[in-house]
Structures are given as structure tokens and as C-alpha cells.
Structure 1
Amino acid sequence: MVEANQRPAHDQLTAAADAEINKARMIAAGNPHRLNYHIMAPANWINDPNGLMQYKGEYHVFFQHHPYGVQWGPMHWGHVTSEDLVHWKHRPIALAPSEPYDNGGCFSGSAVEHEGGMLLFYTGVTYDGGINRQNRHNRTEVQCMAASRDGITFVKHTANPVIAQPPADGSKDFRDPKVWKHADRWYMVVGSTKDQVGKALLYESSDLSEWAYKGVVLESDGTQGYMWECPDLFDLGDKHVLIVSPMGLERRKTIYFVGKMNYDTGRFTPESTEEMDFGFDFYAAQTLEDDRGRRIMIGWLDCWDVGMPTQQGGWAGALSIPRELALDGEGRLVTQPVPELAQLRTGCKQLNETLVSPDSANLLAGVQGDSLEIMAEFDLASCSASEFGLKLRVSGNGGEETAVYYDAADKRVVFDRSRADSAGNPGISIAPVSSEAGVLKLHIFVDRSSVEVFVNNGQSAISNRIYPQPDSRGLELYALGGAVKLLSLAVWELGSIWEPQA
């Protein structure tokens, strides 16, 4: 293990933060928008997932956390663990701002196993003046490390920061280290910007303490954001994938590049690029490789500068369901929910070979719920409808609804939350559907104030938050302008992921 120094002040600060969360958790627990099967803190603010890894048989997920309020503030690292990627336990807060190099916050980062212990890499932040997320120019960002023997209690490295300043290719925006091992060397990619161009910067190390700058692994082409946050670089099949979350686009989103990484030159050559998720609420995604060789991704199921009605209920922010990444036969990235989530299913209701038309009675009139998994398959070859799909979280008078439907003219799936609630967030998300598709498969996860949609076995995804009234629980099948054949539909209620706390 690298040398670490126990700091009593850090222990005291993490304990104080845990105590604050324990005081606030009962208020948050009573909020009707509280999610049932997504990772959240017990109370108060969270954002980016951090430090995803499997360690000593358990999955670990850390996250950016402000334990002292429902707004963003000095970042700590919250922590949950799971043995099966489904049922989770809250653990003590892992990192708190405590040192001269991180007293403004412990920003996002990653985790690796080394010599039997766990190492966290994070961005330490200090401010010249008051802490303010919007004022990036009065902020200094450095890369730091903390160590643990048990994966629960962490001490910060005596030689922090391990990278004390950005290279000439970067700037003061210099954050979110993702660390991994290739061959016998360690590598780190860090997000940055220079001259309004987003960049991913590459470092190399033999011992995880001393890092040598290798260069710009990839940068924006001028249309992909002025700052790249939360970079993640990994191999997948016979390709490599780089994920980044750009700032400066019309809509905050996560994008990916599929291509080839040359470790000799330190350069990534992209062959294709696309949005990771076409919704408004999927950002700062990070991945891990588990002991089955799967590449699993989790994102922040929210975004910056939007209405968050949950803040009135004592909490803000959640993480997406875990998603498995793969490349299809044409080298495109597909994302699907991990199959372990089927453990949460109860009470299946099914329909088969049914024609849905504008004159049809609602075939799902007897199905209600706010914590559901839905799998529906429609025949496109025989479809005469101009629009068809499902309405979720429908109120008794029809005033509230969230629609997920196929637009036949433009061959796309549309997620319309314009009537979902009174939060006032943007309403329409659109995901493409392959023009060769003879069927449309919709795999939908509804969890009180979130909806995640996977189209045609994960060829595209849409993730959005919604905030309907608690009694808006209806579900409808519908078609407009003609009929569509429903080949199959299954609806399950889903249980809670949270293990009882001692």
C-alpha cells in the first residue's frame, strides 16, 4: 500500500457528517418522490457517482454528497455497498474536506485495488474566497489519493496532492481522475479545458504516487463542449471506449467515443461517437469491470440547473440503475439494465397478441403503480398508427401523464414529460430507432420520480426525472391515426433495494 497518514480531524469530520445525515434522514424518508430501487443518500444532496469497483466480493459505489443541505455544497464522498448489485447498504461517509489542499471539497474520482487495499483518487478543491460552484475561476483543483484496508475507513496520502498542478495543455478546470491498470502500468485520465476546447488528459505511473504527464488523449472537435468532466477510458471487446460529460452544450449530457487507444503514443483514435443517453437526466457516468468481465455503468440520474422538488422534502439526487455495456455487431455501444434487477420483480401482469387502436379501451385499466418494470414489444411491419406507446403515472382525471411513444413518420421514440408534473422542466426527449427495425421493444423502469427507457435491446436509452402527485399511478396503452399490434407486454411491481439498517 502507498503511505497514508491517519488524520484525527478527518475522522471527526466524517463522523460529524454522518451524524448530520442521521438527523435528517426521517424527513427525507417521508417524501413521496423518494425512489424505491435507486441509489440515494439517506438525506440531502448527491450528484456524480464515484469510485465504482468490486472489492473483496462486494460492489462499492461512492458519490458526491453534501451532507449538510439539499443544495450543492462542499463535496464529501457518500458510500454504499452491495453483494449482488441489487440490494444496497449505506456505509459511513468515506471522504470529507479536511486538508489545506481539499478544504473546499473532495470532488469526483475513482477507485482501484492495490496490494490488498482500496485506493480512492479524487480532486481536491480550494477556493480563493467563498465556495461557489458557478465561479470556476477562483478555484484550484489538484489530484489526491486516500487509502483503506477494509474499504470503509479511508486515510489521505501523506504526499497529497499527487498531481499538484495542471499541464500546459490544461487549465484550472482540472478534475475527476479515473485510474486503471494496463499491462504493468497505471494510467489516469483527467478532464480539463484549454481555449474553450474540452480535453481528456493522460498520466502514467508505476507506483500510483508519482505521475508523469503523457499528453491529450482526445479533445473536442469544437462541437463537443468547452470542458470535459468525468472522463472514463476502458477496453470493450476488441475496441476502446472513452466516456465524457461535456460542459457548454445546449443540453447537459454524457457522450461516448468508440475507437482505439494507443498506449505507446497516449492517443485515442475515435471511430464513432454518440450520446450515451438521450434524456435530460443522465450525467457524469462512470464504469467498473466486475469479476464476470462485465463493464457496468452508473450515472447521475439528475442534472444541473433544473427544478428539484425533492429538495423541499429533504433530499436531492439519485443514481441510475446499473447498466451493462456491450458492442453490437456493427461496433455500436448498447446499454441494458443488469439482469440481476429481476430479483425485485413481483406480481407479473401480461398481454399477448393484442391490437391497439384509437377505439380500444385501455387494456391496462386495472394496472397501477409507481414502482414498475414494463417490457413491451410492438410489430412495426404491420403498423398503421402514426403514434403509439404507453402513458405512465397517469392521474385519475388525465391531467398528469408521462408519455413514451413511437413517432412512425420520423422513426423515433419520444419521451414527453410536459404533462408529468408542475416542476416546469423541459419536456421532450427523442431517441433514434433503426430504420431496419421490424419490431419496437420498450423496456421501461418507473420509480416514483424517475423513468428510464431502453429501446430495442439497449440501442438507445432515455432517462428523465418526473414529479407527479402520489395518486397519479395509472398506466395506459394507446395508438393514434391507426392501429398497431402489441406482440407482448409484461408489467411487474418492483421491490426495494435497501437492506435493513442495523
Structure 2
Amino acid sequence: MNRLQKANDYIKENKHKTNNRPLFHFSPEIGWINDPNGFSFYKGKYQLFYQYYPYDIVWNDMHWGHATTNDFVNWEYLPVAMANDKAYDANGCFSGSAIEKDGKLYLIYTGHIDPNLGFDKDESQIAERQCVAVSEDGIHFKKSKLNPVIGEKELPDGYLICDFRDPKVLERDGEYYCVLAVRNAKRRGEIIMFQSKDLLQWSFHSSIFQMPCKENTLLECPDLFHLDGKDILIFSEMPCDPEFDGEVEKKTSYVIGHMDFENGAFNPEAKGLLDYATFYAPQTTDGQNGERLLIGWMHRWTKATPPKEYGYNGMMSLPRKLHIKNNTLIQQAYISHDDYFTPVAVHEHVSLNEDLHIESGRTGYLSLSLLSKSGSFVVELNKKETTATRVSVDPSSNSVVITSDYGDSEPITVRDCFNNEENTLEFYVDLHSIEIFVNKGEKVATFTAYEKEKGTSIVLSGKGAQLKEVRYEAFSS
């Protein structure tokens, strides 16, 4: 039996064993997921592929899972799109992207070779090369006989084939471009660009972004797109070597600037942090109506994982609609409130001289409008007796701090939050996650914890705090 059929048969026979999956965040039918891949709109539906290992709740040989949706709440799980069944991807079909050409859907991904996978790493034996698979129906994919299409021959001197991955493909004026993360000879991260006319024959174009050597950073999962008259480059950051673990934070950043495709130069103007916490390897696509949408992997990089009896591990964020304001990337949750959230309580002109209690259940949406001179206060979510996830809001220090009795987490601090006359906080609470949007998406922080027995109350407390409005809506599928 081939690996693709084996994976699909296993899922069909065992998916009923999973439980406690989130209600409005994407999760796998069974097994492990990480990076979103091939995020695209094709044949009237949003396509989401993802790094996938169906057989356990830990990372292993990477397949590409596949699901489609029209609303990002209801998903149709499709057969696994790719398994690591070729010599050039024997140890994993790593991350990549999708693009439509001549009515066909092309996947471009990293074929990973590491004969010591799971044992001591030997860089001299690791190779990462870019490969293509094509589908006429968006479901069944055939790997190209030309694979790998970008490898040692196309990669210039000064770069290491052992860390050369995550192709994100785009089209400009009839030409195809692919941005890739790579480790250079100084062992630091760069983003380089390749060019093609047919998605199969590629040539090196340029290096468009480099991390300073002193920052000790490796880059992953680049994404380049045009929005509101600017070009935006997104990438995830991690330590370039194990010796810098703890010193270099794992995070996802964006750079706003201008991409000169002719000369292969990206000219940066501003840099920011995409999310302050549980978020990595996001990918964007043009939406059905031309909006730019982003989705990312919600992961804490800690030892906190779901219990094995859940049968799955990993979730995607809510999709986020992007736009630029004052050289800042704004992210707004892209989900229909009218269809999926039911108003439960609205409190206006709230003075928190006494605690405000809301019986919320375990999933829902909380919106707060702060008056400009409000004092500090605390929002306790999933409260049960003395346990909760606490969001401490302090306008005087311009910060939001997230701490929790759930999960395995350090405090999360979001700074420079309250610069407007009227400020807002929005909380999307699912069974295992909280996504917090400050001022309609100027800052975003994502928290995950997989405990089953969380509380079902929300409590706001803080002497002297002044809130213009407190609104709670329950999720209803």
C-alpha cells in the first residue's frame, strides 16, 4: 500500500477517536498539525493545506493535509494531498504554497531529506529542495517528473542546502516569483527570490532580506504580497543555532516597504511584530473579494500539549483580514458575527467599583470599549473558583499583560496599546485558545491552553476603571 493511501485509510478508520476539538478554530481530524500551507482561493472555495502527521500527536514525517471552507467555521476535510513517498521528499513534504495556473492548482513545497530524522542532526546529510505537484481538480495531486525544481544547481554559493525551505510563490506581470528562507554561510537567515515563467524552470533572482549576524536569527516561512500601495514581507524568526535558545525569541514579524521586482531589491520602511504570543508560520492569500487574508499556526513553543486522549494536537488561528494604517499592519478577525455569535449581554457606562460577572460558557466573543481616562482593570476569562486566564489592562503604562493558571506559559506583555481617544479590546474565546485584538487589530496576542475543565465565567474587576461598553456574544454553530 502506498503512503498516501495508508494515511487516508488510517484517518478514515480512526478519526472518530478524537475529542475536545475547538469549535471555531481549525484543527485536524486526527493527529498532529503545524504550518498552514497552500492557503488559496480555488474553484469557489478557500483551500487550506497544512503540515500533517495523522498517526500521532507529535511531529514526525510531514504529509500535506487538506481541507476547504467558505466561512472558516465549517470545514470539509479532503484526502491527504501529499505524502513523503519520493526519494527527494523521503523524510517529509515540508511547507510551501499554492497558485492557480491555466485552471490547475500548483503546489510548490520543500522536499526534506534527513536520514537521521529523530536522531542526532548531521547537517552534511540534510538537503532541502523545492518541488512541485499539480492538480486539475484541486483534490488529487501529481508530483512533477522534473522534481526537485530548485536545488543545488539553482542555489548560489554562500547558502546552505540543509536549511533552504518554505517556498511562497506569487505572480507579477506574467512572471512567477518565489521567496524562500535560507541559512547563509554565516549561519544566519536570509530571504532569497527565484524567478520562473512556467513554475517548473526556475533561476535565482536576488537576496531580498538579510538578518544581521549579531541577531543570531534564522528565518522561516516567508510571504511577500502587495497591500494598500505597499509591499509586505512576513517571516517567522527562530534561533539560528541551539546555543541561542532562550536568547532569541521565536516570533513572527512583518516588514512594510517596496519590492523592486526588476532589480530584485526589497526596500524596507517599517518593521513590526505580527503577534505577541502563540503564533507562527502564517500564510496569506487573496480572498474571494480581493481582501488579503492571513491564517497562522497557534503554538506556544512550550511543553504544554493536549492530553494524548484528545487524539489531535494543533490549531489554526482565526483568519485575519489585513490592511495598512500609519505604516502598521492591522489585523482584524475575519468571521461572521451575524452567523455565528449571539448577543447575550450589553453593559454601557460601566464603573468597576464592583466586579462585573458574565456567565459566558467556554466559547464566545467579548468586546470592551475603554474611556480615555480609564483606570487599570483585570479581565478574568474561563474563571472557575480561583483559576482563570487573566488579562491585566493598564492604560497608564500603556500595556496589556496576559497570565494564566492554565497551560504552561510565561506572562505575555503587549506594549504601546492605548494611543487613541477611545480604545478597544476584543477577545475570541474558544475551548483551547484566546485571541486578543487591541484597537481593532493594531496589536494582536494569542494564547493557548488545552485543559478540559476550564471555568465558564468572565469577571471584570478594577476600582475606578471606566468602560464605555462591555459586550458579550456566545458562539452558536
Q: TM-score range by the shorter chain?
A: over 0.9
2:199 aligns to what? 208
Instruction: Determine whether 1:393 maps to 2:385.
Output: no
Deviation at 1:405, TM superposition (A): 2.4
Instruction: Determine whether 1:351 maps to 2:347.
Output: yes
1:482-497 mapped onto 2 (5 Å cutoff): 482-496=463-477
Whether the 8 Å contact between 2:218 and 2:237 is mirrored in structure 1 is yes
Change (3 A) 1:277 1:106: same
- After superposition, the C-alpha distances for 1:23-69 in whole angstroms (9 at most, x for unaligned) are 3322222x3xx211111111110000000000011000110000111
Task: Give the SS at the match of 1:97.
Answer: coil
Instruction: Determine whether 1:473 maps to 2:451.
Output: no
Deviation at 1:380, TM superposition (A): 2.7
**TM-score, normalised relative to structure 2:** 0.93
Change (3 A) 1:231 1:342: farther
Paired amino acid for 2:200:
S
Q: Alignment RMSD, CA only?
A: 1.8
Q: Which of the residues 358, 366, 369 maps onto 2:361?
A: 369
Q: Which of the residues 427, 438, 454 maps onto 1:444?
A: 427
How many Å separate the matches in 2 of 1:132 and 1:126? 13
1:254 aligns to what? 252
Q: Which of the residues 157, 170, 173 maps onto 2:159?
A: 170
Task: Give the SS at the match of 2:315.
Answer: coil
- Higher alpha-carbon deviation: 71-80 or 286-295: 286-295
How many Å separate the matches in 1 of 2:286 and 2:468? 35
- Structure 1: runs of 5 or more not aligned: 1-8, 497-502
Task: Give the SS at the match of 2:82.
Answer: coil
Whether the 8 Å contact between 1:86 and 1:341 is mirrored in structure 2 is no
Deviation at 1:394, TM superposition (A): 0.7
2:232 aligns to what? 241
Whether the 8 Å contact between 1:38 and 1:320 is mirrored in structure 2 is yes
Instruction: Determine whether 1:181 maps to 2:159.
Output: no
- Higher alpha-carbon deviation: 16-25 or 100-109: 16-25
1:98 aligns to what? 85
Paired amino acid for 1:278:
Y
Deviation at 1:181, TM superposition (A): 0.1
How many Å separate the matches in 1 of 2:198 and 2:443? 39
2:438 aligns to what? 455
Whether the 8 Å contact between 1:380 and 1:484 is mirrored in structure 2 is no
How many Å separate the matches in 2 of 1:434 and 1:477? 19
1:19-30 mapped onto 2 (5 Å cutoff): 19-29=9-19
- Structure 2: runs of 5 or more not aligned: 240-246
Deviation at 1:470, TM superposition (A): 2.0
How many Å separate the matches in 1 of 2:120 and 2:327? 38
Whether the 8 Å contact between 2:297 and 2:317 is mirrored in structure 1 is yes
Whether the 8 Å contact between 1:180 and 1:187 is mirrored in structure 2 is yes
Change (3 A) 1:211 1:339: same
1:340 aligns to what? 336
Whether the 8 Å contact between 2:61 and 2:91 is mirrored in structure 1 is yes
- After superposition, the C-alpha distances for 1:332-391 in whole angstroms (9 at most, x for unaligned) are 11111014354211243211111113xx0x3224x121111111111132x2x3x31311
1:3 aligns to what? none
1:134-149 mapped onto 2 (5 Å cutoff): 138-149=125-136
How many Å separate the matches in 2 of 1:114 and 1:266? 23
Whether the 8 Å contact between 2:349 and 2:468 is mirrored in structure 1 is yes
Change (3 A) 1:307 1:471: closer
2:242 aligns to what? none
How many Å separate the matches in 1 of 2:457 and 2:417? 30
Paired amino acid for 2:424:
K
How many Å separate the matches in 2 of 1:314 and 1:282? 22
How many Å separate the matches in 2 of 1:208 and 1:436? 45
Deviation at 1:148, TM superposition (A): 0.4
Paired amino acid for 2:299:
D
How many Å separate the matches in 2 of 1:312 and 1:132? 26
2:189 aligns to what? 198
How many Å separate the matches in 1 of 2:348 and 2:288? 38
2:243 aligns to what? none
1:283-294 mapped onto 2 (5 Å cutoff): 283-294=280-291
How many Å separate the matches in 2 of 1:352 and 1:335? 26
Instruction: Determine whether 1:313 maps to 2:318.
Output: no
Number of corresponding residues = 466
